[in-house]
């Protein structure tokens, strides 16, 4: 074996190790699993489909990864991270018993162009041909080095080649995402598992409610609850386990406030399995029953609960609500302070929450004479516990109006 062969083999090994510890090779150390904790957002623009950048929304990404480390200090290149990542909070956590220690971090801009497409093909089968169309390598793409590709054939041999590349037909292309380089120290060579955790903007969720009232004098209806998820993080998440957190969570200074949503309506859902609800500290969490894929720029809806039949009351409220903390003198002889003025009354639909209801917006529907559902108004719902009273004020009644008459005080 001459020096050129030795140098070539060393270069090939170095490239292979770089891409393997980068988590790009699916068989060695790609993200073994991905989980997302998504927080509520009231930014209506976040929930528009399309490819655009936004700092609205907040989510925590959890990825389990395996790394082939050598003894000593080395740099791991992590790719396909969310572009709206908060670098100050990125954490690669190795179990304390492993002895692996953090030594440094740098976040780099995403790779663009053809290199980004090839990067997404790592772990898939490719065919490389020369200028004459002759196949020079065929197998699993393991790594990239400029215009050269490291391809593993069916025997396990590695080939470092360049040429025309045919990518797999089923390749799912998405934004390349951010990349980060993390320096770590390992006490000995071996394969180590770690959890990669980082927050990102561009992802959020909100609750949507549809109250389908029944025709007639009795106030009854069906309440449907759905969760709308949006991903504008700059990357896609495949087969992610998703937990939705409900409640007003204080966001970091670099992110928008995470509070309850105010949202538009979307198409009604059938009744697939509902999320598993549980408590998390003083908040509520909803674990989706099955993994989902969130494509960059997509808006996805899932049911929060199975449809619930509710009994409700319909009332009519005249006048304006007094400002918070204000009350007139008692007794009040000033007619301008009266809260029962003229005008059309507001419609108030009240019911007991059949489940814990995360804050969101409810849209009310009523069938017309032909049986078609007609939209009759919308109102917000605050975070509400099971059994608590919910009051929705969708609008003002047209056929009812009050004309109060002033009453003079009689002298005695």
* Model pLDDT for residues 26-65, shown as the tens digit of each residue: 223 356 789 999 999 888 888 888 777 788 889 999 999 8
Average pLDDT over residues 102-108: 86
Q: Look at residue 328 and tell me whether its pLDDT is greater than 50.
A: no
Please state, rounded to an integer, the average pLDDT across all residues of the chain.
Answer: 76
C-beta of residue 102 within 8 angstroms of C-beta of residue 87: no
Identify the DSSP state of 120.
Answer: H
Domain 3-33+65-198 falls under CATH 2.30.30.100: yes
Question: Average pLDDT in the 163-175 region?
Answer: 70
Q: 47 in helix, strand or coil?
A: helix
DSSP string, 272-296: -PPPEEEEETTEEEEE-SS-EEE-T
Q: Is the pTM of this model over 0.75?
A: no
Which residues contact residue 4 at a Cβ distance below 8 angstroms, ignoring those fewer than 6 apart? none
- The 3-state DSSP class for residue 278 equals strand
> What pLDDT, on a 0 to 100 scale, did the predictor assign at position 1?
34
pLDDT in tens, 141-164: 888 777 788 899 989 898 888 888
| Residue 137 parent element (H or E) | strand 135-145
Look at 362 and 257; give whichever has higher pLDDT: 362
Q: Which region among 90-99, 261-270, 273-282, 305-314 has the lowest average model confidence (pLDDT)?
A: 261-270
CB 263 within 8 A of CB 271: no
Its sign, for the CA torsion 94, 100, 104, 109, is negative
* Residue indicated by tokens 């180590």: 192
Model confidence at 247, in pLDDT bands (50, 70, 90)? confident
Residue 40 and residue 383: Cα distance in Å, rounded?
A: 11
Higher pLDDT, 330 or 285: 285
- The pLDDT, as a whole number, for residue 256 is 43
Q: What are the tens digits of pLDDT across the range 70-99?
A: 999 998 888 778 888 888 889 999 999 999
Confidence of residue 209 (pLDDT cuts 50, 70, 90): very high
Distance CA 246, CA 96 (A): 32
Say what the pLDDT of residue 170 is. Answer: 65
DSSP-based three-state secondary structure for 53: coil
Nearest to 122 by CA among 85, 171, 71: 171
Q: Map out the domains of the chain as residue ranges.
A: 3-33+65-198, 203-303, 308-396
- pLDDT given at position 365: 96
DSSP H or E run through 226: strand 220-231
Alpha-carbon distance of 276 to 279, in angstroms, equals 10
DSSP single-letter state for residue 250: P
How many helices, marked H, and strands, marked E, lie in the chain? 2, 24
Which stretch, 21-30, 136-145, 193-202, has highest mean pLDDT? 193-202
Q: What's the whole-number mean pLDDT along residues 8-12? A: 33
Q: Phi and psi at residue 44, in whole multiples of 5°?
A: -65, -35
Residue 172 predicted with pLDDT over 80: no
What value does the CA radius of gyration of the chain take, rounded to a whole number of Å? 29
Q: Please provide residue 137's backbone torsions phi and psi, each rounded to the nearest 5 degrees.
A: -165, 145
């Amino acid at each position: 074996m001459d020096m050129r062969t030795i140098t070539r083999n060393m270069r090939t090994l170095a490239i292979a190790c770089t891409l393997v510890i980068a988590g790009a090779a699916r068989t060695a150390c790609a993200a073994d699993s991905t989980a997302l904790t998504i927080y509520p957002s009231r930014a209506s623009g976040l929930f528009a489909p399309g490819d655009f950048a936004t700092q609205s929304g907040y989510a925590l990404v959890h990825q389990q990864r395996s790394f082939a480390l050598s003894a000593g200090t080395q740099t791991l290149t992590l790719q396909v991270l969310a572009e709206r990542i908060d670098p100050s909070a990125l954490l690669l956590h190795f179990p304390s018993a492993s002895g692996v220690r953090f030594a440094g971090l740098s976040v780099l801009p995403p790779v663009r162009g053809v290199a980004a497409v090839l990067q997404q093909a790592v772990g898939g089968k490719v065919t490389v041909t020369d200028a004459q169309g002759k196949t020079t390598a065929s197998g699993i793409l393991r790594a990239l080095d400029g215009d050269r590709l490291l391809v593993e054939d069916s025997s396990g041999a590695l080939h470092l080649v360049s040429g025309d590349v045919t990518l797999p037909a089923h390749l799912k292309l998405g934004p390349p995402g951010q990349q980060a380089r993390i320096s770590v120290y390992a006490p000995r060579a071996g394969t180590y598992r770690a959890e990669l955790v980082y927050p990102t903007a561009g992802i959020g969720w909100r609750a949507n409610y549809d109250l389908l009232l029944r025709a007639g004098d009795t106030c009854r209806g069906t309440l449907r609850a759905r969760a709308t998820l949006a991903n504008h993080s700059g990357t896609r998440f495949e087969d992610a386990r998703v937990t939705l957190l409900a409640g007003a969570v204080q966001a970091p200074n670099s992110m928008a406030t995470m509070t309850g949503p105010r949202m538009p309506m979307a198409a009604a859902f059938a009744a697939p399995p509902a999320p598993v609800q549980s408590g998390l500290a003083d908040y509520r969490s909803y674990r989706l029953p099955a993994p989902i894929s969130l494509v960059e720029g997509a808006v996805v809806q899932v049911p929060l609960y199975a449809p619930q039949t509710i009994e409700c009351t319909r009332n009519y409220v005249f006048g304006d609500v007094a400002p918070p903390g204000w009350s007139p003198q008692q007794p009040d002889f000033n007619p301008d302070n009266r809260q029962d003025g003229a005008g059309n009354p507001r419609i108030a639909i009240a019911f007991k929450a059949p489940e814990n209801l995360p804050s969101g917006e409810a849209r009310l529907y009523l069938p017309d004479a032909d049986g078609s559902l007609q939209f009759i108004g919308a109102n917000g719902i605050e975070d509400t516990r099971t059994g608590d009273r919910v009051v929705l004020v969708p609008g003002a009644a047209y056929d009812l109006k009050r004309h109060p008459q002033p009453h003079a005080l009689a002298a005695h």
